[in-house]
Structure 1
């Protein structure tokens, strides 16, 4: 005799828990892969941004026969509150209408855009790394600044090793100790000045990582700002201490260094910027020839310094 008892079509509680557990395991396995894929896409976009900046520099060179200087003064000599290289290449970054409104005899300091108010809320996507969590407009990074928080800095060069100095490297507070790169203040260089070769000399690198009070950024006085004090090339009283917020930096520390862990004090290290990023394991950087490389944070520090110097004659590798 056939049973008339209705057949159950649902899951038992045990079966449901097993299915949920399997789905949870699959999600746990899939999520890191998705995150890695997204980061790979962001890093590629960051690479493209650096290539755009490189193309802008090359177009600038084709137009003027030289590259922009790292920082220029309001009268193209005295440096105080002038602009940096980012303003110079705005026309080559499809921002010619903004450039035409700039008053280079006015101030570019984030707390005093006198004559250059158009920069206050300007955001140029090509100057931002998509992996960075730093805000595009930042009012808290420095001295009452307001303006775009740029994620790419120019290379003034690298500080020489000096026994007995802080960290073993030349104190950038005195003299033009890092004036051996391509983007120095009030000095316009060209391809011929990079005697190490355009593919062996860094021009732009990332500074898009998490910062703190001891690891100052090159946006400290605003992302469009040059040096904060008066001075000119050859003035021994004006050195990197006046230029660390000029949109450029001098290589003194390894990539992604945490100078808090070194026991540094604000007085000792306040004038230094560190190349960093949110990309796992390193930064993107662009050479003078426009090529972009991912430089691991484990790169030999002396090799990193060689890459930042334009004319030391030493061999380099990435």
Structure 2
């Protein structure tokens, strides 16, 4: 009887072949796994937006109006008493965003209770302070007021890695101001630098009526009845990326400090020359007019300013932010995201759609609509038309 053959081991060449095959398979499968993860994050982002859409409709059902973008509490006359830090602590300075009013409808009832009542704790939620914060909170950039620093999961896109200081609580979802830059930071009220404080008059109403053409009008309540172009044809909210401290043109504002005739109102591309020609996603290394590091895109969910929780449809998605003065001013604040190729938008009927960054956007160097030329069609093509609530433009294309 012959002895059994000894077990044959793998040769070095065979082992290398096996390792090479495994490497090839990993190389093939890894991008697919990463793509699947991003697809899941994108779906989660869409679901967050759907929840915000449901919250907006529930709010409207309760109050027959939409929550105000840039609103809140203020002392309209007594500027001397409420100067400086005292003024910022006593009221929220008429600067709250629409997301604050939605908190009870986003399963954040406890947070709403803290905001809507006097709140006697420091940012740590434990240290008792006196006097207590007022109902509806202080100015939304106040870092020691706990509710403004709260991270609300529904307001965050899973694809956006931004977190922590120097921001407060972040948001990836913003209100649509329409297709203009004129008066979108003040709307129906304006600040009189003298003794009058915040005032609303015929002049300001005329300005805002002509240029604030989106679903959300700063410092004025709007309702579904105002959306005459149809709820399914009009964008209510859009996605925004939050800043990572890397001078990204989508999230780091260019403070152009000029409105017209060669400024922000006259040409949406006025800030484009300061982009790095070799890395156009970022501002040039030598460009420094970007303001303080705490004033960046999406850095304060409670702040209604265009930089923080608003956007307009003048420039296509994922283009540069170009403001007319400082971080609190209006300007071109496009939608943006960390998803490849586009952004989510929430239509006013509650539908969520993904819009390509190459959407037809007309003449992106055309002057914006103002009260001087009110009523004209949007110069920014399909994208601009989707941002207006009552311009009577027919939407003929899929997007």
Regarding TM over 0.5, the answer is: yes
Alignment partner for residue 348 of structure 2, among 272, 275, 288?
288
2:318 to 249, 256, 261: 256
Alpha-carbon distance in structure 1 between the residues aligned to 2:234 and 2:75: 26
Q: Which structure has the higher relative contact order (CA within 8 Å, separation 6+)?
A: 1
8 Å contact from structure 2 (residues 148, 301) kept in 1: no
Secondary structure of the residue aligned to 1:111 is coil
Task: Tell me: CA distance 1:181–1:23, structure 2 relative to 1, closer, same or farther (3 Å).
Answer: same
Q: CA deviation at 1:252?
A: 2.4
- Please state whether the residue corresponding to 2:238 is helix, strand or coil: strand
1:155 maps to which residue? 176
Q: Paired residue for 1:119, among 127, 147, 151?
A: 147
Kindly indicate whether the alpha-carbon contact (under 8 Å) linking 1:82 and 1:107 is maintained by their aligned counterparts in 2: no
Which of the numbers 382, 387, 392 marks the counterpart of 1:303? 382
Q: RMSD between aligned alpha carbons?
A: 3.1
> Is 2:22 the counterpart of 1:23?
yes
Q: Equivalent residues in 2 for 1:197-276 (5 A)?
A: 197-208=230-241, 212=247, 214=249, 215-216=252-253, 217-220=296-299, 222-226=300-304, 243-245=305-307, 247-258=309-320, 271-276=331-336
Residue matched to 2:113:
100
Contact 1:81 1:225 in 2 (8 A): no
Instruction: Tell whether the 8 Å contact from 1:155 to 1:248 is kept in structure 2 after alignment.
Output: yes
Q: Specify every segment of 5 or more residues in structure 2 that has no aligned partner in the other structure, as ranges.
A: 78-91, 116-133, 187-206, 254-295, 362-380
Contact preservation (8 Å) 2:241, 2:336: yes
Report what 2:42 is aligned to.
43
Q: Secondary structure at the match of 1:254?
A: coil
TM-score, with length taken from structure 2: 0.62
Distance 1:315 1:86 in 2: 30
Partners of 1:210 and 1:277 within 8 A in 2 = no
| Preserved contact between residue 218 and residue 249 of structure 1 (Cα < 8 Å) | no
In structure 2, the residue matched to 1:65 is 64
Distance in 1, Cα, partners of 2:135 & 2:307: 18
- How much has 1:181 moved relative to structure 2? 0.5
For the pair 1:109 / 2:188, whether they are aligned, the reply is no
Q: If the length of structure 1 is used for normalisation, what is the TM-score?
A: 0.77
After superposition, what is the alpha-carbon deviation per residue over 1:33-71, rounded to whole angstroms, capped at 9, x for unaligned? 111111111111111100100000011001101111111
Indicate conservation of the 8 Å contact 1:77/1:186, yes or no. Answer: no
TM-aligned CA distance change 1:29 to 1:77, over 3 Å = farther
Partner-residue secondary structure (3-state), 1:294: strand
> Take 2:302 and 2:48, find their aligned partners in 1: how far apart are those partners?
18
Gaps of 5+ in 1: 141-145, 161-169, 227-242
Cα distance in 1 between the residues matched to 2:114 and 2:185: 34
Asked if 2 retains the 8 angstrom alpha-carbon contact of 1:43 and 1:131, the reply is yes
SS at match of 1:31: helix
The secondary structure found in structure 2 opposite 1:71 is coil
* Match of residue 220, structure 2, among 177, 187, 192: 187
Secondary structure, aligned partner of 1:89: helix
Q: Is the 8 A contact 1:210 1:278 kept in 2?
A: no
Count matched residues: 277
- Residues 184 and 212, structure 2, Cα contact 8 Å, conserved in 1: no
Structure 1 residue 6 displacement after superposition: 6.2
The equivalent of 1:84 in structure 2 is 97
The answer to whether the 8 A contact 1:156-1:184 is kept is yes
SS of 1:99 mapped into structure 2: helix
Among residues 157, 167, 170, which one is paired with 1:129 in the alignment?
157
Does the Cα contact within 8 Å between 2:241 and 2:298 map onto a contact in 1? no
Q: Rate the CA distance shift 1:268–1:88 in 2: closer, same or farther, 3 A.
A: closer
